[in-house]
Amino acid sequence: MIPTIIVLVVLLGFLLMYLIMTYNGLVAIRNHIRDAWANIDTELKRRYDLIPNLVETAKGYAKHESETLEKVIALRNQCKANTGSPAAQATTEKLLVSSLNGLFALAENYPDLKANTNFQQLQEELVNTEDRIQSARRFYNGNVRDYRNKTQSFPSNIVAGMFGFPPEAEEFFEVDPVEREAVQVKF
């Protein structure tokens, strides 16, 4: 009788330890996701701060292209105001990226603007920011993947269900990066 009780106590102890470790692991992944999202948000704000300077520089050279420039600013303001889910933010971010690509295409039509040092520096800074956004997005999406794997895999899915960790609670963040055409060298 006593050996049976000891075996039951040991098994319950292991089960309790597993529950605690799994729960703490889920909490840690959720916190990594929130931290990663904060990093993305920081980089997006950096982008939002660069865009008005880029547009103002372009305005001086492309006065009759105001529709394109105003669209970029309007989308920037819309993205900055959007604090919804990653999927909702990705929708507006895609529109902004598309309009930024249009702004860079516009610069191709204005050699003086394209050669402007301030515009070049702002464009380069924006491209660097886009690289940082991509890196932060990959880190965020990796954490979301790990979270979903853990909340959908047996037996941790049982613990996740017991303690309110739904698999689809965290969304992936997918946005195409701002692309800049490669510099063409002509001799």
Each residue's pLDDT tens digit in the chain (187 positions)?
788 899 899 999 999 999 999 999 999 999 999 999 999 988 989 889 888 888 888 877 776 677 778 888 898 899 989 888 888 888 888 888 888 888 888 777 777 777 778 888 888 888 888 889 889 989 999 999 999 999 999 999 999 999 999 988 888 887 765 554 443 434 3
Task: Map tokens 């890196």 to a residue.
Answer: 135
Q: What is the model's pLDDT at position 85? A: 85
Q: How far is the C-alpha of 179 from the C-alpha of 173, rounded, in Å?
A: 18
Q: What is the model's pLDDT at position 144? A: 93
Q: For the purposes of burial, counting CB atoms within 10 Å of the CB of 177, is it exposed (0-12), middle (13-18) or buried (19 or more)?
A: middle
pTM above 0.85? no
Domain map of the chain by residue range?
26-169
Q: Check if the beta carbon of residue 36 is closer than 8 Å to that of residue 139.
A: yes
179 to 132, 173, 176: CA distances (angstroms): 14, 18, 8
CATH 1.20.1440.20 assigned to domain 26-169? The reply is yes
Q: List, in order, residues 6 or more apart from 33 with CB less than 8 Å away.
A: 140, 143, 144, 147, 170
Q: What is the model's pLDDT at position 177? A: 58
Please work out, in degrees rounded to the nearest 5, the angle formed at the alpha carbon of residue 19 by the alpha carbons of 18 and 24.
Answer: 100
Q: What is the model's pLDDT at position 68? A: 78
Q: What is the model's pLDDT at position 64? A: 64
